[in-house]
Amino acid sequence: MRNLAIGAAAVALAIFTGTSPVAAQGIRFGAGIGPTFSLESGGGTDFHVMGTAAFGREVGHPVNFRIDAMLQFTEGSDLFIGSGNVVYNFSAAEDTRIRPYAIGGAGIYADGGTDLGINAGAGANFRLGNSPARLFAEARFHAIFAEGNTVTQLPITVGLMFGGGH
């Protein structure tokens, strides 16, 4: 747990000190947290943390890309998810505070073994005044193709995104 706290502090420091040089290139960094709901028989809820890097402008460019790293804390072995995603930003005026998007992609899911999976969902970015920071909230369906069966889950993430202008 101490290593996780040190890692989170390092990510926060990088976000707050490193966004200016990359802002002009449309690169954004973020972090989020939230519950993950198992959609399997018997259900259950876990907790996750996520770091993300988004590439491309949101205004005037409907399609951009995002790389996510998520750590899901489970009762058994924790699950690491690394995914590459395509983000479609719905049209909105430049001064709009709420920007909805659809997201989907593929990734690697590792919890001792390594499996492949896909995800798809929707979310929105919320501008925070004139700040370069934006609040984001999203829900994504994940299908993990694990040894003969498909495991499904629904993580809901709320976080902050920094950099990249609009």
Is the separation of the CB atoms in 103 and 89 below 8 Å? no
- Count of domains forming the chain: 1
If phi > 0 it is left, if psi is from -120 to 50 it is alpha, else beta; for residue 14 that is: alpha
Its pTM stands at: 0.81
CATH number at residue 80: 2.40.160.20
Per-residue pLDDT tens digits of the chain, which is 166 residues long: 445 444 554 444 444 444 444 444 579 999 999 999 999 988 899 999 999 999 987 666 789 999 999 999 998 889 999 999 999 999 877 778 899 999 999 999 999 889 999 999 999 999 888 888 899 999 999 999 988 899 999 999 999 999 875 5
pLDDT at 163 (0 to 100): 84
In the numeric block, the tokens 């690169």 are attached to 27
Q: 119 near 141, Cβ under 8 Å?
A: yes
Report the Cα 162 to chain-centroid distance in Å: 13
pLDDT given at position 57: 72
Q: Which domain holds residue 119?
A: 2-162
Q: Who contacts 2 (Cβ-Cβ below 8 Å, separation ≥6)?
A: none
Q: Give the pLDDT of residue 60.
A: 67
Q: How many CB atoms lie within 10 A of CB 58?
A: 22
The vertex-100 CA angle with 98 and 103, nearest 5°, equals 145
